[in-house]
Amino acid sequence: MKDELSINIYLDETDTPFSRYYSPDDVHLSSDLEDFLLSKLHSGKRKDIEISFFGQNDFDEKSLKTATFNTFSNLLEEEEYTYARNVKKTIVLFVIGIIVGVIYLKLSSNHAYIGGVLSIVCWVFIWSGTEVYFFENQQIKQTIRKCKNILNANVRKK
């Protein structure tokens, strides 16, 4: 059984789904509409999504599709960059933590006070790397999945 989701967006005559700060050649969805679409995808694991725009306005389907694609492809690119940067940051934090831990082991027998401080510093670096990798990156991966699903969505004007 396929997971399907239908997102209906109702626009009044005065509403505009487009962001005001982009040129007509490079249309994007408004930030409110972007947040609304992301909020409708709770887990990010949906497969078939249909986004329908309703209302008494003169927006054409092509510009709505283009704006949706532009908005979420840019967001996807930003999130993938952040994810890659966080992985590198995690590796650096782990390596620094291990190096400080090795220094701690060498100094712990001769200099107990410095060894104690280095022990704390070691665990701070290791925990920081763990936090970035397991907590921050989980949210980023979920946003990446949501963006990919929206990019594959069927956008219609009804």
What mean pLDDT comes out for the span 9-31?
A: 82
pLDDT at 133: 92
Whether residue 14 is predicted with pLDDT greater than 80 in this model: the reply is no
Q: Answer with the residue of higher pLDDT: 56 or 76.
A: 76
| Model pLDDT for residues 77-121, shown as the tens digit of each residue | 999 999 999 999 999 999 999 999 998 888 877 887 888 888 899
Confidence of residue 126 (pLDDT cuts 50, 70, 90): very high
Mean pLDDT (the chain, rounded): 87
pLDDT at 1: 44
Return the closest-CA partner of residue 74 out of 43, 39, 31, 36.
31
Whether residue 32 is predicted with pLDDT greater than 80 in this model: the reply is yes
pLDDT at 59: 78
Q: Return d(Cα 135, Cα 91) in angstroms, integer.
A: 15
Contact in structure between 9 and 17 (CB atoms under 8 Å)? yes
Which pTM does this prediction carry?
Answer: 0.82
Residue type, 42: H
pLDDT at 6: 87
What mean pLDDT comes out for the span 43-59?
A: 77
**Total Cβ atoms within 10 A of residue 51:** 20
